[in-house]
Amino acid sequence: MDFLDVWDGAALSDGTFEPSAIDRYYLDDDWSLRTSINPPGQFLRTGSGNAWFPFTGDTVSFQAWGENGTRKLQLYVDDSYKGTFDIEAAGTITPTWSFDGLGAGAHVLRVHGWQANATIAAFIQPGGAPFYTPPAIGAFHRYEDDWPAILYNGQPFTTTVTNWSRVSNIFATAASNGQYIWSGTVGDTVSFDFSGVKVGVGFFADRFGGNIEILIDGNSQGVFDSYRTDPDFLSTYYDGLAPGPHTLTLNLLGTSHPNSSGTRLYLDYIDVWDGTPLPDGWFEQDDNRVLRSNGWDTITDANASGGTYGRDSLYNSANAWFPFSGDSVTYQAMALSNGDEFAIAKIDGEFAGYLNLYSST
């Protein structure tokens, strides 16, 4: 037991509640007060803490503080997941997210520091437009490992048994969205209901990786070996599915390569395509079509297409994925005097080649 909340029916006060209004909300012990000189202001910061803001009414707004080193947070209302939000990508000092349609009465907005660091600038009751609308699921969609409909032993990750653990530190920098979920318990399962004609699964692999049976609609697609001498990110794809609903299942078999020191299953993501051709075009590195891990920096360079390019911030610490349809694709990189060899070519999980990114000029 952590706490019990009780409401007596009286409306809670309206207003904008900044860090000075600490008696209006609740924090765990992982938050610290920070002061910004330029622009001036105060905010709260955490690596992985939680904060709870009780409010009454149909709407609420949350305001973060964007500073160097801020990352992502998750927001919940009455513990219903509203989304994962990127403070850095918002591009403003005080990015704000608002929610409506919550109904009359008392509610609780929870802020969870999901990938260090998260911040709080203010809670606002009532909330103001524009109100958040979850992005539509298109023809191709990547479901990250903590997507609520991905079930671990029959439950979402947030409510599943403790066999499953989330890794979102430096060891997961190159994972899609900067994290993966793993278990080493024999018989553990991952299941996901989807609708589409093609499905892919992304795994993390290392010297503890085990054998994973992959099933679609109960039919085995074979055993995937997630053992690798050095850490790597692997994927496998299955196409030719009939249009309509399907079920993907991953079974942790408890067996592994003879050289493996474990039998773990590390899930990174699940990709689904419904068969609709994806738009043609030229897509810059920061386009929403490009899926990226953590570990990327944006570099300004007049010689780059669009004036910027993405570069991994730590050696061999970043991945990027580009979904496309058709039988050809072009990738453009920046060759530099301190460039290196970059293993670009995995298409649908299969290695296709290297690209040398060194140039003396």
**pLDDT for 104-155, tens place per residue?**
999 999 999 987 789 999 999 999 999 999 988 899 999 999 998 999 999 9
Q: What is the pLDDT of residue 342?
A: 65
The answer to which of 160-169, 216-225, 251-260, 311-320 has the lowest mean pLDDT is 311-320
Would the pLDDT of 297 be above 80? Answer: yes
Q: What is the pLDDT of residue 183?
A: 98
Answer whether residue 6 is part of any domain.
no
For 146, counting Cβ atoms within 10 Å of its Cβ (0-12 exposed, 13-18 middle, 19+ buried), the class is buried
Instruction: State the DSSP H helix or E strand holding residue 90, giving kind and residue range, or none if neither.
Output: helix 87-90
Q: What is the pLDDT of residue 316?
A: 64
Q: What is the pLDDT of residue 91?
A: 76
Of residues 90 and 285, which shows the higher confidence score? 285
Answer whether residue 283 is part of any domain.
no
- Do 42 and 158 reside in the same domain of the chain? no
Answer whether residue 281 is part of any domain.
no
User: Cα 354 from chain centroid?
Assistant: 27
- Do 261 and 309 reside in the same domain of the chain? no
Answer whether residue 305 is part of any domain.
yes
**Of 61, 96, 125, at which residue does a domain stop?**
125
- Do 26 and 121 reside in the same domain of the chain? yes
**Of 273, 303, 319, at which residue does a domain stop?**
273
Contact between residue 110 and residue 79 where contact means Cβ atoms under 8 Å apart: yes
- Do 232 and 155 reside in the same domain of the chain? yes
Answer whether residue 9 is part of any domain.
no
Q: What is the pLDDT of residue 344?
A: 66
- Do 335 and 232 reside in the same domain of the chain? no
Query: What order do you get walking across the sheet with 155-156 strand by strand?
Result: 155-156, 151-152, 189-195, 245-252, 211-216, 219-225
Percentage, residues of the chain above pLDDT 70: 97
- Do 180 and 268 reside in the same domain of the chain? yes
Answer whether residue 94 is part of any domain.
yes
Contact between residue 355 and residue 344 where contact means Cβ atoms under 8 Å apart: yes
Q: Domain count of the chain? A: 3
Q: What is the pLDDT of residue 70?
A: 86
Answer whether residue 205 is part of any domain.
yes
How far is CA 294 from each of CA 72, 227, 318, rounded to the nearest angstrom?
Answer: 11, 23, 6
Mean pLDDT of 257-266: 98
Q: What is the pLDDT of residues 147-183, one digit of tens each?
A: 989 999 999 997 866 799 999 888 898 999 889 999 9
Backbone phi, psi, residue 272, to 5°: -135, 135
- Do 157 and 268 reside in the same domain of the chain? yes
Domain span at residue 336 reads: 291-356
Q: Where are the beta strands (DSSP E) in 127-173?
A: 140-144, 151-152, 155-156, 165-167
- Do 117 and 170 reside in the same domain of the chain? no
Q: What is the pLDDT of residue 141?
A: 97
The answer to which of 13-27, 153-167, 248-262, 317-331 has the lowest mean pLDDT is 153-167
- Do 321 and 244 reside in the same domain of the chain? no
Q: What is the pLDDT of residue 358?
A: 81
Q: How far apart are CA 355 and CA 339, in angstroms?
A: 11
Pairing of strands 232-238, 198-205: antiparallel
Q: What is the pLDDT of residues 11-36, one digit of tens each?
A: 999 999 999 999 999 999 999 999 99
Q: How far apart are CA 47 and CA 111, in angstroms?
A: 12
Would the pLDDT of 352 be above 90? Answer: no
For 271, counting Cβ atoms within 10 Å of its Cβ (0-12 exposed, 13-18 middle, 19+ buried), the class is buried
Answer whether residue 135 is part of any domain.
no
Q: Which two three-digit tokens encode residue 310?
A: 């993405």
The CATH number of whichever domain residue 182 belongs to comes to: 2.60.120.260
Contact between residue 322 and residue 282 where contact means Cβ atoms under 8 Å apart: no
Q: How far apart are CA 156 and CA 161, in angstroms?
A: 10
Q: What is the pLDDT of residue 343?
A: 59
Q: Is 24 helix (H, G, I), strand (E, B) or coil?
A: helix
Scored b (16 or more CB within 10 A) or e, 111-133 reads bbbbbbbbbbbbbbbebeeeebe
Nearest CA-CA partner of 109 in 145, 153, 57: 57
Q: What is the pLDDT of residues 203-215, one digit of tens each?
A: 999 999 999 999 9
- Do 146 and 63 reside in the same domain of the chain? no
- Do 158 and 266 reside in the same domain of the chain? yes
**Of 238, 273, 308, at which residue does a domain stop?**
273
Q: What is the residue-averaged pLDDT of the chain?
A: 93
- Do 148 and 262 reside in the same domain of the chain? yes
